[in-house]
Amino acid sequence: MDLFEPQEESKDINQLIDSKQYPDFWQQIESFKKFTMDVGQTAVTHNSIMVSPEDFESRMQTCKECPEFNPEQKRCYLCGCYMELKAKFTASTCPASKW
């Protein structure tokens, strides 16, 4: 195989290419830091840190209908979070204020 010859495009690679971008690495770190601090504070001050299964499904349905949601990666373009994780916690909020 010659490295300088054009190669056939892989469908897997095309699935990773996306015209929208996530926040930069440091913004995602700050978002994660806020998330962990909020969850920790909720654990100290409330009985439950997890939402009900019904609330989780409602949150995920809202995400799936949002144009800022990447359904393949299940991530939000606004905060970069993996929403199937973030939506489970009572302290979490949608960056678009939808839940």
| For the chain, domain boundaries | 20-35+51-94
Banded pLDDT at 49 (limits 50, 70, 90): very high
Banded pLDDT at 14 (limits 50, 70, 90): very low
Lowest mean pLDDT: which of 2-6, 13-17, 27-31, 41-45? 13-17
Banded pLDDT at 57 (limits 50, 70, 90): very high
> Which two three-digit tokens encode residue 95?
């960056």
Cα(90)–Cα(74) distance, integer angstroms: 19
- pLDDT surpassing 80 at residue 16: no
> Which two three-digit tokens encode residue 56?
């989780």
CA 23 to chain centre: 11
Q: What is the pLDDT of residue 47?
A: 78
> Which two three-digit tokens encode residue 99?
């839940």
Task: Scan for tokens 């009900």, then name that residue.
Answer: 52
Query: What is residue 76's three-state secondary structure?
Result: strand
pTM of the predicted structure, to 2 decimals = 0.75
